[in-house]
């Protein structure tokens, strides 16, 4: 085996072993279709903290092109304990359209006393239809 190819294989193996021990911030569900008879629709998501330490998260809502849109979020920010998940309800207006594609995102917010400033984001995609 060529030395360059051997290095690639070793790096891949090291990455695979390391990835097995690291958790990733998550949220469920990651996609869905909602039907509503009203002028707005609701989505319930469950952000989860897979880490061994608490994290601060914020829930944000974007349109399909990642432009922020107004929504009622309960709760909009929270502290999640290690391994914990929490229910969040997001209520989004349809506006003038009978169909709306949105992204509901969980964004980790670094604590002020931490050295790292990484803001992780994970988003679920949802399609809502207004029924008449």
**How is residue 96 annotated by DSSP?**
T
User: How far are the Cα atoms of 51, 65, 70, 106, 109 from residue 125, in angstroms, in the given order?
Assistant: 24, 11, 16, 12, 21
Read off the pLDDT of residues 81-112 as tens digits, 9 standing for 90 and up. Answer: 999 999 999 999 998 989 999 999 999 876 66
Compute the average pLDDT of residues 6-29: 47
β-bridge pairing 121-130 and 31-36: parallel
**Is the pLDDT confidence value at 20 over 80?**
no
- Residue 114: its pLDDT value, please? 64
Given a contact cutoff of 8 angstroms between Cβ atoms, the answer to whether 44 and 86 are in contact is no
Compute the average pLDDT of residues 18-41: 76
pLDDT-derived band of residue 42, with 50, 70 and 90 as boundaries? very high
> In order of start, what are the domains of the chain with their CATH numbers?
23-130 (2.60.40.10)
- Residue 7: its pLDDT value, please? 36
Read off the pLDDT of residues 55-83 as tens digits, 9 standing for 90 and up. Answer: 889 999 999 999 999 999 999 999 999 99
- Residue 27: its pLDDT value, please? 78
């Amino acid at each position: 085996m060529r030395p360059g190819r051997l290095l690639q294989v070793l790096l891949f193996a090291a990455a695979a072993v390391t990835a097995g021990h690291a958790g990733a911030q998550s949220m469920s569900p990651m996609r869905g279709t909602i039907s509503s008879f009203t002028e707005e629709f609701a989505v319930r998501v469950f952000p989860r903290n897979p880490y061994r330490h608490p994290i601060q998260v914020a829930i944000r809502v974007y349109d399909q092109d990642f432009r922020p849109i107004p929504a009622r979020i309960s709760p909009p920010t929270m502290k999640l304990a290690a391994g914990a998940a929490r229910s969040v309800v997001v209520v989004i207006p349809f506006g003038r359209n009978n169909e709306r594609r949105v992204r509901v995102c969980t964004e980790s917010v670094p604590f002020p006393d931490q050295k790292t400033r990484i803001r992780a984001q994970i988003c679920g995609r949802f399609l809502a239809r207004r029924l008449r």
